[in-house]
Amino acid sequence: MRSGYFKQSYSDLVVLTDSPVVKGWVTVLLLGLLAAPFLLSGYLLSHLTVILFTTVGALGLMVLTGFTGLISLGHVGFLMLGGYAYAVAVSRWGLPPELALVLSAVLPAVFGLVVGIPSLRLHGLYLAITTLAFSYIVSAAILAGGELTGGGSGIMIERPVILGMNLSSDRAFYWFCLCVAFLTVLAVLNLRRSYVGRALVAVRDNDIAARTMGISLVRYKLLAFLISSALAGLAGGLMAIYMSFVSVEGYPFLLSIEALAIVIVGGIGSVLGAVLGTVFIVTLPEVFSVLMSFLGGRLADAMTTSSHEIKTILYGVAIIAFLRFDPRGLRGIWHDLRHAWVQWPLRY
């Protein structure tokens, strides 16, 4: 007889969830996401599409920073590589869009291994500065790429037909991003509960103890960089398709800060936190813009003329606020709310 949270079989230990309530809410959420194109306006659907491919890139950084504890400030470099890999493969080399999208993940993964080599000896701020330098190297190389990369002019691309699905419409592209985001979430969830995921967490918590237990720091740190950069590159490829244009200006350093804010605000080391953090951070400037439009005057004009600077301020305030008042992030807040509901009124 089952008692509390006692697991009676191995299948109970490896299952993602055995809660009927969780399964029910996930089903409702998926049905709502599938029905969103029929219920939302074009603007809201576009916003939801941005959240979906941003989630893919955020999960990549979560694997590196949240699971493994390696700080990266240069993830925009992998986004840029993914976007340009797709654009160059399609427009310059004439490759099928399916193969180009795979290349947008493979090429950043290769460079991720190269960037990951310094992580074997560097930690903390030094590693963060190394990854930041990598993003500037990528930007400079693309600008000097001449006709291949378009230099400062960028590359125009069209919405492709992938696996028989014409992505020219916003609705079709939304469904494609939904499939990619769903598969990515499922993959990272399974990675986290696998031997590899537990090894990454062990490296994060105490790398000396992990090495003592037989975990290869070289293998798992490089693997974390490989997986993280591949997911970031895939998100960059989807971003390129969404914008139908790639340029260095389209991948500012602010995207690295946004990704780091997502990990911190959502909750470090949590897949659910990455999803919640993405929704919060991507939606925060839009909510602030609506509030400023109600106030009118110069505040409303500032969101148009200084949107980049205001986003930077908002992300900084969000990071400071969560680190100061609840370092667990939105995942921790959700955990408290859920247990307060389940245990009410005995909790108090």
Residue ranges of the domains in the chain? 40-342
**How much is the CA Rg of the chain, to the nearest whole Å?**
21
Query: Mean pLDDT across the chain, nearest whole number?
Result: 86
Q: Which CATH number fits domain 40-342: 1.10.10, 1.10.3470, 3.40.30, 1.10.287?
A: 1.10.3470
What pLDDT score does 18 carry?
67
> What is the spatial distance between Cα 115 and Cα 137, in angstroms, rounded to a whole number?
11
Predicted confidence (pLDDT) per residue in 219-230, tens digit? 999 999 999 999
Q: Pick the more confident residue, 211 or 6.
A: 211
pLDDT tens-digit series, residues 302-312: 666 667 778 88
Q: How far apart are CA 52 and CA 261, in angstroms?
A: 16
Residue 1: the pLDDT is 43
Enter the pTM of the model.
Answer: 0.89
Identify whether the C-beta of residue 199 lies closer than 8 Å to the C-beta of residue 227. Answer: no
Please check whether residue 235 is in contact with residue 57, taking contact to mean a CB–CB distance below 8 angstroms: yes
Interval 272-289 mean pLDDT: 89
Task: Give the pLDDT confidence score for residue 14 in this predicted structure.
Answer: 63
3-state secondary structure of 306: coil
Say yes or no to pLDDT of 17 above 80. no
pLDDT of the residue at 229: 94
